[in-house]
Chain A
Amino acid sequence: MINTNLPKSVYIHIPFCKSKCSYCGFFSKPANQYDVKKVLNAEIAELKKSVFQKPAQTLYIGGGSPASVGCEILCSFLSKVVELTGAAGEFTVEINPADADEKLLKELFELGVNRISIGVQSFCDNELAFLGRGYSAKQAEKIIGAAEIIGFKNIGIDLIFAVPGSNLKNWRETIKKASRSSIQHISAYSLTYEKNTPLEKTKLSGKIKTVDEDTDRKMFEAAIRKLTDAGFEHYEISNFAKPGFKCRHNLTYWKNDFYLGIGPAAASFSGDYRIENISDIDKYVECIESDREPAAEKIKITPSEKASQTAVLNLRLIKGIDLTEYKQRTGFDIYELFGRSIEKNLKLKLLQLRNNRLSLTKQALPIADSVLCDFAQPD
């Protein structure tokens, strides 16, 4: 039975990595410090108790590095997951080139995984070293090649630009390498110096020269231009996809639709509540085993909050907000809440109104936050 109020997207967090990259702000711990099977069993238990639409429309396995738990454990876990979720329309697994090999990819393919998201980050060895990734560009290429041969039709990669020491020229070459026929989806992110990461500490110590704002912007604009030329659709600020290959799971987030998050630190949105699970792995397991909700944070979302969040998230999509749909989903006329902000940004040519859709203009994209903040709460 299809109940439109239940989440159709399921995210499962594997909170383990072999080593932590210098820039990572995500939650993960070394697999060898934990009883991985116990943790994964707890996640299965959480999934069993959760309510969502079956079969799930999208299933996304992220982390950490899912493959760091080892092929056997991962695949055994995933088959249990699939038993509970049914065969999802889009079934993604994140892959770290340092932890994956042909064998793993094959087994995943057999399990029904139909989308691979490879965290390549860069095709430059020195950048990879700077980021602490633990593999070479060649290894990354190998994994991409293997995935293609095995039969994955939906291959996506992550790229990071504005890494200290990089320049526009080698970024353009990276984009060129990425725009080959076997890759259908590219996420391109400007290097973010997250709080409390080793990278941030290095930056604060003044030991590295960060890429200047102008170059950062030029790299962003170059990515948009070149990837669009190569046949990718720029559909979200940081995301590009060939026709038919947009990431449906992430679209759930940007449409502000409901989703379920399983595992330590995972996030869920039920429409009325945003929930963030406990990060501490041991405490998470304890909660599940004592039959308690593993929520560290459960925030009720008021209608006006939801309206703001929907506006901000929708605007992340290049095609922006459909005003009629907005009213249907939030109950508000967007002008009622954000009339002044809309007028101001239209005047500044940072927003555009076309065919009943409100979206960021091309020149607004590099400074999108300064426009999005106007929608963070009603005027």
Chain B
Amino acid sequence: MNTENIRNFCIIAHIDHGKSTLADRLLLLTGTVSQKDFKEQMLDTMDIERERGITVKASAVTMHYTLNGVEYMLNLIDTPGHVDFHYEVSRSMAACEGALLVVDASQGVEAQTVANAYLAVDSGLEIIPVINKIDLPAAQPKVVAEEIEHILGINKNECFYISAKSGQGVSELLEAIITFLPPPAVDLTKQTRALIFDSHYDEYRGVICYVRLVSGQLNPGDKILMMGSSRSYQVSELGKFTPEMKKIDSLGAGEVGYVIANIRTLSDVTIGDTITLAKEPAKKLLPGYKKPLQMVFSDFYPGNNTDYSHLRSAFEKLSLNDASFTFIPQNSPALGFGFRCGFLGLLHMEIIQERLERESNIEVVQTAPTVTYEVVETSGETYRIDSPSHMPEKTKIAELREPYVKLEVITPKDAIGSIMKLAEMKRCQLIKTDYISPTRVMMEFRAPLAEIVYDFYDQLKGISRGYATMDYKFTGFEAGDLVKIDILVNKAIVDALSLIVHRSNAEARGRKMLVKLRKAIPRHQFEIPLQAAIGGKIIARESIKAFRKDVTAKLYGGDVTRKMKVLKRQKEGKKRMKSIGSVQIPQQAFMSILDTSE
């Protein structure tokens, strides 16, 4: 096909603003899927995504549409919209020339709308603003159009008004995609270069790479080279998504499709990498390639219904379909052998946890999610640590740095006060406040990632009655007055409970943790002292009193069977907890200390 007649575009939208419904509409309208074969939200493939209404893995669909006698190829690239998958979104956008920016007419512009819109602008995409759900009684399309103009500088007169659900306005939009969005730029470079903007693992066929051909051509049988990872493969199959996979004989410049090349695992493929031909490789990688950075860490230890090797197998299985989640063997004197897991964000972490439970039926003991810190030793050596237990002695540390992010919150103005309070508690610095409409505000903060990495989002939702939204982007490591709190249970340090915190928070945080621990650990036959310490100095104390009476008054013949059952349960209850020395700690205790709510 003539590149002039190709349109590569994505749909960007906040959760529930109608991206999937619009995609469905386009599939139907272009005849790509017949009414008979149609299923709602066709492009969402995994169960979890269906339930949460989010797309975790991008898909790409090739549609055909004839306008004024000319046949056009429209490639819809479905991007992950969530803040955790920032890099993936940017690579999907690099495969496009245009974007449909969809905003719910009753909700207005939200944080992720903004974040992704800016990404699209930065990627040089032509944007068509689309106001959706105009059929809702609460719809205020004109107000929303104003918001779009105010925040993104897009002329409000360029907005399209649709209802993806009913189909109203969608054919006009389809035409606009053809008339307003540019075709792919012609790249006359001789060498073949294809951008890998996504990948998926299929049990039968191995890794499937989603590619956008930038220059040259790909054919089945080609020997290819991944330029960033330096790995070589041979193309066994080439095709397009319609939305099912359909084999084709060649992919040309400007086109979007998939490549199968006997690639065994997802970790062999890096999103953003460039595929070129081994016999005549391109000189330079396509721009924008970056190895993804894990932002949130948590240690997972096998719970009592499983062991280390089962956990390992489960993680290996999960990572087949998710290369951005990492796991490295970890050992804790308190909890034994487990894994240090890295995630792109909290949502990513939750999804992995859910999948562990659901797909592998595994219980885990999960410890504090932490972030990566940068240590500068007095010797000048600089390195990063993933866990408080890797922190060197205080005397060796010249500087401790923590990751900072640019945090954007969009909220109704009545929550500003509470959000300011929350931000203050979390050491966030307000950079600016912008009214995006008479009732809604965008607040930008400079925030330590550690402070928002666990429950900031939940709290934000709580204080704004669910209306506030947020987005964050890593900006760099900055020095901070950080200290490590050690928790001692019965006079022994339980390293799994250690945390790195800002000194200003340390005492309060240490105390809070001890109170939570005291409530979570059951009474024992002896008194259990709980202590929080920084560098050997105790900063807080609590104590769990021993139980004073635990004896059955009567145990005669008829009581034996019943009493043995009760005693057995008592013994099993003890077994279910992790033994740290002579103290039994329930798994719940490890999690309860993370709960930073009041």
- Contacts from A to B (Cβ < 8 Å): 11, 189-190, 192, 213-214, 216-217, 220, 237-238, 250, 252-254, 259, 261, 265-269, 274, 276, 297, 299, 305, 308-309, 312-313, 316, 344, 348, 350, 365-377
Contacts and interface: CB of A to CB of B under 8 A. Distances in A.
8 tightest A-B CB contacts, nearest first: A376-B567, A373-B570, A267-B558, A189-B553, A373-B567, A376-B568, A368-B551, A213-B548
Given A370-B525, A376-B570, A261 B558 contact: yes
A161 to B, nearest CB: 9
Interface string B561-578: 101100110110010000
Contact of B582 (A237, A254, A344): A344
17 contacts: A11-B557, A190-B551, A213-B547, A250-B556, A253-B555, A253-B557, A261-B558, A265-B558, A269-B560, A313-B555, A344-B582, A348-B525, A348-B526, A367-B550, A369-B551, A370-B525, A377-B571
Contacts of A253: 555-557, 560
Contacts, number: 104
B35 interface: no
A348 B553 CA distance: 23
B554 interface: yes
Contacts of B550: 366-370
Contacts of B574: 373
Interface in B492-533: 525-526
Query: Which of B555, B558, B574 has the largest count of A CB atoms less than 10 A from its CB?
Result: B558
A266 B558 contact: yes
Contacts of B553: 189-190, 192, 237-238
Contacts of A367: 525, 547-551
Contact of A192 (B525, B548, B554, B571): B554
Query: Which of B557, B568, B582 has the largest count of A CB atoms less than 10 A from its CB?
Result: B557
B552 interface: yes
B551 A365 contact: yes
A237 B556 CA distance: 12
Contacts of A252: 557
Given A348-B526, A376-B570, A313 B552 contact: no
B547 A373 contact: no
B543 to A, nearest CB: 16
Interface residues of B, number: 24
Contact of A373 (B549, B554, B560, B568): B568
B564 A308 contact: yes
A305 B564 CA distance: 9
B415 to A, nearest CB: 40
Given A312-B564, A370-B570, A238 B554 contact: yes
A223 B551 CA distance: 15
Nearest to B563: A312
Contacts of A268: 557
Contacts of A220: 549, 551
Contact of B549 (A217, A265, A313): A217
Given A253-B556, A348-B582, A377-B571, A366 B561 contact: no
Contacts of B555: 237, 253-254, 313, 316
B567 A274 contact: no
Contact of B548 (A265, A269, A366, A374): A366
B582 A312 contact: no
Given A216-B548, A366-B550, A374-B571, 19 more contacts: A11-B557, A192-B554, A217-B549, A220-B549, A237-B552, A238-B553, A238-B554, A261-B558, A267-B560, A267-B561, A312-B563, A312-B567, A348-B525, A367-B549, A368-B552, A369-B551, A369-B570, A373-B571, A373-B574
B552 to A, nearest CB: 6
A217 B557 contact: no
A220 B558 CA distance: 24
A307 B421 CA distance: 62
A369 B557 contact: no
Contact of A190 (B547, B549, B563, B582): B549
A316 to B, nearest CB: 6
Contacts of B549: 190, 213, 216-217, 220, 366-367
Interface in B161-179: none
B548 A217 contact: yes
Contact of B564 (A250, A267, A376): A376
Contact of B561 (A238, A265, A274): A274
Interface string B254-268: 000000000000000
A350 B551 CA distance: 13
A371 B558 CA distance: 21
B114 to A, nearest CB: 54
Contacts of A265: 558
B557 A261 contact: yes
Contacts of A213: 547-549
A259 to B, nearest CB: 6
A369 B551 CA distance: 5
Given A373-B574, A376-B568, A376-B571, A276 B558 contact: yes
Nearest to A219: B549
Contacts of B552: 192, 237, 368-369
A377 B558 contact: no
